[in-house]
Amino acid sequence: MAEKRPDYILFDRNTKAIVYGYQAAPIQRMLDFDYACRRDTPSVACIVDPTQDGYHKCFWGASEILVPIYRTIREAAAKHPDADVLVNFASFRSAYPTSKEALETDTIRTVAIIAEGVPEHRTKELIHIAKQRNKWIIGPATVGGIAAGAFRIGNTAGTIENIIEARLHRPGSVAYVSKSGGLSNELNNIVARNSDGVYEGIAIGGDRYPGSTFLDHLLRFEANPEVKMMVMFGEVGGLDEYDVVEALKDGRITKPLVAWCIGTCSKIFPTEVQFGHAGARAGAERETADAKNKALREAGAIVPDSFDDFDAKIRETYERLVREGKLVPKPDIEPQKVPMDYADAVRLKLVRRPTEFMTTISDDRGEEPKYCGVTISEVIEQNYGLGGVLGLLWFKKKLPKWATNFLEMVVLITADHGPAVSGAHNAIVAARAGKDLISALASGLLTIGPRFGGAVNDAAEYFTFYHDAGYSPDFMVKDMKNKGINIPGIGHRIKSVRNPDKRVELLKEYARKHFPMTPYLDYALEVEKLTTTKRENLILNVDGCIGILCCDMLRSIGYTPEEVKEFVSLGALNALFVLGRSIGLMGHVMDQKRLKTRLYRQPWDEILYLMPDKPEEVK
């Protein structure tokens, strides 16, 4: 969970939020607010979208950043335990179950429900859960809220220009709570023009049963020493304002409170009138705006005669506090300038162009290229080697020396397997047919599959599946036989128990000596014991050994079984085979072009091997 804050503070400059619903525009507005406030880190930790996962690309100032997307609140909360706010953009149909899940998630403290039309009985259930678990709800039917200079919920306070105009990029001394989201935006401007600005503003939402009330937030403001005066903006309908009246009378609220309930015009209508919000309807005399304004004035609140005087009362109260020395005006701070979006910039001939695709492994925008944040000069000076570069570009981390040596060993072992295998055959034929080096190489690489190299990835997939599922080696052998699937990575046409493959022996020896753990290799060797009782050539072959040891390497450097599974599913392990075999294939292509033999039919058991004693003797 995020660092512990006082109970009266819901949001500060370190608050991070999970946004439910793929809402690109509000997310960008939250980030633009963060940037203008000079926050150190973005307030949006991640996004939850049940239809997709991956990353959302957005701006942090002029730079692009990636915000992770998860399919469930549970996964998002587990990955980002410091995010204690859920901004819920779910529709009214799904606002209840998603908000309920968030309230029952230990790391989430505050849920802002944007949707209108949430059934009242569902809202009451959510309120009950929130009270039981000491959580907060803002909404439903809310625009959200804003902690000036710290945190913004979704679209609260409008455009970035309006935010800067209302000085919301830094905290003032006045906190307000409002029913209406639209009028809360007007409050931001009124308070900014008649005081040193807003400290925090909350729109509790227009429903008849809001998740949190006027009094809930006013008591928070009362407890906060940074808040010197308060503003409440109520409306016709409901009785929540009378709770504030009682708090004024019994002394729970002592700070100056400027209050007004809008809707006094309702008395001129001959019948009951609905004023937009579900709760903005007076069902009795006590629910009228006039009755509530009168009760607030009698209880000690500062209530204007009409809305036209509302700003004047705020200014008078503020200036009185300054004169009495109870309020020291907060200084103005220059906001950080937020770049315009692309469409607006084009119109004004100021361009911020988004990228066409994204990468997380390299960066060539600085003075020298970087591999996963490491400069080329550092790669050379610290002797990362081929294995180290593979670690940076493939695994996005600096691998230990034993792991980089293993990767280099795999490349060396897989570089070539002779000219008779399908990949080399295709590359040779293409070269002898006059194709250029790249075309001939591609011809060979396109042959990589289940019978030529593909067993690396397939072996990794099957062995890790059966091992991680807790199945015995005996079960794996029988199960795959029943399914009619040959075990990838098991079997060799020539090598056997009596005539082992030297490459496999070298790999096993290295792993035993240097790997911190080899659970998949141990499992595979138990499978090999079973298969070789049937035929001596059903041994763990080089492709299988490479695939299995790659998974052991990943586990040894900190990958979880789930992360190993994801890496294997990308087909990434075949990339090692491709990298190594490319070296051999290019050698075959160049060899054929040197020999310049004409194309003719020749059985592959009659290959003429012209092998020099030493490499330098090749002419």
Give the residue numbers marked as catalytic.
277
Q: What is the largest CA-CA distance in the chain?
A: 110
Spacing of C-alpha 309 from chain mean position:
47
**DSSP code string of 149-209:** TTEE-TTTT-SHHHHHHTTTTS--SEEEEES-HHHHHHHHHHHHHHSS-EEEEEE--SSSS
The three-point CA angle 183-186-189 to 5° equals 155
| Tokens found for residue 474 | 């005996």
Q: Are 429 and 421 in contact (CB under 8 A)?
A: no
| Tokens found for residue 238 | 């409901």
Short-list 442, 459, 488, 405, CA closest to 571: 459
Give the chain's length.
Answer: 619
CA distance linking residue 415 with residue 259, whole number of Å: 79
Which residues does 573 contact at the CB level (< 8 Å), separation at least 6? 456, 457, 460, 546, 547, 550, 551, 567
CA distance linking residue 555 with residue 439, whole number of Å: 37
3-class DSSP state for residue 330?
Answer: coil
Short-list 208, 146, 153, 137, CA closest to 177: 146
**What is the radius of gyration, based on Cα positions, of the chain?**
34
CA distance linking residue 204 with residue 43, whole number of Å: 21
CA distance linking residue 563 with residue 413, whole number of Å: 26
Short-list 614, 619, 576, 574, CA closest to 596: 619
Q: At what angle do helices 455-468 and 542-556 cross, to 10 degrees?
A: 50
